[in-house]
Structure formats: structure tokens, C-alpha cells
Structure 1
Amino acid sequence: MSAVNKRNPLLDAYLRNLVANPLWTKAATAATLQFSQDALASAIAGARPRPGKAAPLHEKALAKVSADMVSVKMAVAGALVFAPLNHALGIFLARLLATRGKTGTRAKVEGILANNLIAAPINTVAYLASIAIINGARSVDGVLALVQRGFFGMLKMTWMISPVAMVIAQKAIPPELWPLFFNFVGFVIGTYMSARVKKARLAAARAKKDPKDPKAFDV
């Protein structure tokens, strides 16, 4: 066991659970990260929830940490959609690459390509479709419209960052810490994109309310 694990019993316990109960551990992690990501993005974008005096108690409690029911729904999506999907794709890609029997640099390149050409597009569609439903889309056309608008922009960002993150992981991060590293990378990307969306919505609302407000164009 590495010295890092010996110094960090919580990390050691997390990694043990990740091996013993991978899907449950990934689901709990995804739920926590999605909730935190949405709340942090709201704070960054200046879109903190402001429930009224008559708002339910749970809304007031969530607002204290810059969260709302969207944050809760994102946590549910993380646990029930994103985590199982990532888990299944990870198993599929591992088996696919194992059948090729490649090692060394070529295997690493194939791993990066497989992740970007297979896993990334599927995860992007699942994420955007979930966002659409959580934010009120109730028809297939409504969901598809949001997916089409955001697909290539989000995928392009993934293609830019994912290979760099993969190379860093392969060269500098112990394999047992890869899940935490990639969770961190995903959290940063997700927070950035969510903050941009929230800021754009806030600007659109301001423009609709007061077209002369200079902040309406500050995106």
C-alpha cells in the first residue's frame, strides 16, 4: 500500500469501497459532485437562489449553500444516470481494448481514442438530455433541440481536455488515484460549463426585463 494511502485513511477507505462496491461508490460520488457542481456554478455565475419568505423550508435550507431543487435533481441524475453509464462504458472499453492485446504507447493512444470517440459522445448526449429534462423539457423535440445546440461545443471541450488529462494520469498519477483525478477534472469542466449556462440565462432574463441594463450583455 502506498504512503499516500497510509497518510489518508479516508482516501484508503474510499479506494477500498471503489474496488469492493464500484457502482455504489461511483453513484454516491457522482451525486455529491453533481450537487456541489451545480451549487458552485450558481455562486460563480451570480445566480444564487433567493427563495421568498413563503418558500418551503427545504428551499431556504438549500439556498444557504447556493443550491436549489435543480441541484438535487442533478444529484439524482448523477447517481442514477451518469455513474451507471460511465461504469458500463468503462467496462466495455476495457474489454474492447483487452481483446486487441496492445501494450505500451500504442495501447495508451488507443485508450485515448476510444474514450474520445466512443465514451465522450455518449456521455455528452446523456448529460445534455438530462439537463434538458431537469430544466423543463417535456417533449422529445425539446430534449433533442438542447442536445443539438450543446453537443459539439461540449464535445469539443472534452476532446481538448481529455487527452491532456489522460497523458497526465498515465505519466504522473498512481493508477489507484485515477478515479479521483478524473472526477476532479470532470468537476472543473462541469462547473465551468454550468456557470456559463447560468450566467447566460441570467443575462437573458436581465435583457428581457431591462434591455438597457449593461449587465444583460456581461456573459
Structure 2
Amino acid sequence: MSSLKIERDVHKTVVDNVVGNGNGVGAMTKGLVGSTAAAVTEAATGNLPGTSGKHPISEVVGTAITGGRQNAGTKGYLAAYIKQLEDNPLRTKMLTAGTLAGAQELIASWLAKDRNKHGNYFTSRVPKMATYGALVSAPLGHFLIWALQKTFKNRTSLRSKILQILVSNLIIAPIQNSVYLVAMALIAGARTFHQVRATVRVGFWKVMRVSWITSPICLAFAQKFLPESTWVPFFNLVSFIIGTYINTVTKKKRLAALRKKHFGDSSGRPAGGSMAGGPRPEDYPPLGPNPPY
């Protein structure tokens, strides 16, 4: 207890010094510095609701991000996110889907050591995936999940829950996965109907198998333990983890195939051609489940 009191006193002393010496540049920024310092002091002395005072700076930042002092003492980030889902559902889902889709591609590239010709992990597919997540996946998922929840609203029997899982897997999942594969084909460079159709034909059942394994488990868990307002962040998290893993594995396989083609087969004989300056063939298709945003 004494060490905590000393730490708080030190924070208060530093804040008083920063705010008190308002000369030159300090005087110009006194308003901003003063308000920030006052918030840190409040957190350091344990007077900010919902905080412990042990990490005043991070607690002030967290409080600011989650809506300011009026939200202090609430459940924090998740509560603020759910509030945004309730107030602005489509916009929040679009921002979430775009961010996660872009982050998934970036993280998978980093894990697989898949760089572009400039040596960067931030490839052209990152903004394309983010655009797909925000403008295609989110609005589609928003409408489909809204229709599913509306259809089964106030129906809590075991029969209704099983029927809801069947509808999700036999109607909603095929629609989402088909749109997902079409979008991935276009992002990967497909320019003709034949190329897009070939991508969907090759990847559809592989993606559906992933969906049929994970979706019933996740939906049953959500039905049992989660309120409907938290279904979206829960599905987002599961899809992000699974999608990142599958995307990473797919990239590693493609890179291994490229190295074998460039450096030769197992006997060491070169296969001809060079990757230097040439186009990078993309995955056909990327075998990731369509996130149920």
C-alpha cells in the first residue's frame, strides 16, 4: 500500500510541475496538457471510476477510447463496441469487417514470410481485402444474420435452435462462401467468367467443409451462452483466427511451390524460368472460410 501511495504522489508531483510551469510553448499547450494531466492525476489517485490507479496513463487512454469519462466504470472496450453495434450496426460491422480482413491478410503474409517485389508484407491484397470486408462481406452478412435472427426471434426451443443451425449452414453459408470465392478470384487476378467459375468450382466444397465444421459449434455456443448483441464480435473473432491460419498455410504452400519451380526439383535440376521481376501467381482459390460478419 505504501509503494502504491508513493507512486501516486510521484504522478501527482510530475503533473503539477508540467501544468504549473506554463511558460513559452508550455503556455500554448496548457489547455491540452492540463486536461490530460488532470485525467492522469485522477486515475493515479484512484478517483477515475472503474480503474485501479496502478497504470494511470493506460487507464486514461483506455477510458478515452471507450467513450470518455461518462463511460468510465463500464465494461470497457466490449461494452463500447456493443453500444456502437446497437446505435450504428451496419457502419460498425463495415469498419470491423474491413479492419479484420485487411489485418488478416497482413498477418498471414508476415507469418508466411510472403513479401511483395519491394520486400514489404503490406501487399496490394491488403487494401483489396479490407475493401471486400467493408463493402461486400459486412453488408451481406448484416442482412443475412438479421434475416436469420428475425426468423427465429423468441423461438428458444431445442427444435428451433437446431433448425436455426441447419438454415445457417444450408442457406446462409453457401451464399456467403460463393460471394467470398468470387471476390477472392477477382482479387487474385481473375478477369474472365471462366476463371471466376473455375475458382468457385474448385474451392466451394473445401470452404463449405470448413464452414460446416466450425459454424454449428460457434452458433450453438452463441445460442447457449451469448446474448444476440455479442454474436457479431464473437463470430468475427473466430473467423479471424481460422481465416488467418488457413491463409498462412495457403501462402506457405504457394511459396514452397514457387521455390521448387525456380530452384529445381528434389534432384537439384533447375526447372527453368526466373521469378525475378516476374508476376507472382496468386492462390486459386484461397481456402479461407467466409467470415460471418
Q: Between 175-184 and 20-29, report the one with greater CA deviation.
A: 175-184
After superposition, the C-alpha distances for 1:97-119 in whole angstroms (9 at most, x for unaligned) are: 34xx7432111111111110111
Counterpart amino acid of residue 196 in structure 1: V
Report the alpha carbon displacement of residue 50 of structure 1 after superposing the two structures with TM: 5.2
Matches within 5 A, 1:66-215: 66-98=121-153, 102-212=155-265
- Per-residue CA deviation, residues 142-196 of structure 1 (Å, 9 max, x unaligned), is 1111111111011101101111112222233344322111101111121122122
- Structure 2 CA distance, aligned partners of 1:123 and 1:173? 23
Of 103-112 and 87-96, deviating more is 87-96
Task: Provide the identity percentage.
Answer: 41
Aligned to 2:88: 21
Does structure 2 retain, via aligned residues, the 8 Å contact 1:206–1:213?
A: no
Give, as a single letter, the amino acid of the residue that structure 2 aligns with 1:92: A
Whether 1:31 aligns to 2:86 is no
RMSD after superposition: 2.1
Amino acid at match of 1:143: V
Instruction: Determine the C-alpha separation between the residues in 1 that align with 2:124 and 2:75.
Output: 33
**Which fold has the larger relative contact order, with Cα–Cα distance below 8 Å and residues 6 or more apart in sequence?**
1
Q: Which runs of 4+ in 1 moved over 4 A?
A: none
Between Structure 1 and Structure 2, which shows a larger proportion of helix residues? Answer: 1
Q: Is the 8 A contact 1:133 1:143 kept in 2?
A: yes
5+ unaligned residues in a row in structure 2: which ranges?
Answer: 1-49, 51-70, 268-293
CA distance in 1, matches of 2:151, 2:224: 23
Which is further off, 145-154 or 187-196?
A: 187-196
- Which is higher, the Rg of structure 1 or of structure 2? 2
TM-score by length of 2: 0.62
Match of 2:113 in 1: 46
Q: TM-score scaled to structure 1, two decimals?
A: 0.82
Structure 1 position 213, deviation (Å): 5.8
Greater shift after overlay, 203-212 or 70-79?
203-212
Choose 30-39 or 8-17, whichever is displaced more: 8-17
Partners of 2:86 and 2:229 within 8 A in 1: no
- One-letter amino acid of the structure 2 residue matched with residue 189 of structure 1: I
Encode CA deviations 1:65-84: one digit per residue, 9 max, x unaligned. x3221011000000010000
Task: Judge conservation of contact 2:152–2:164 (CA < 8 Å) in 1.
Answer: yes
What amino acid is the match of 2:90?
Answer: L
Q: Which moved more, 1:163-172 or 1:118-127?
A: 163-172
Q: Flag the 1:20–1:7 CA change in 2: closer, same or farther, 3 A.
A: closer
Q: List runs of 5+ in structure 1 lacking aligned partners.
A: 53-62, 215-219
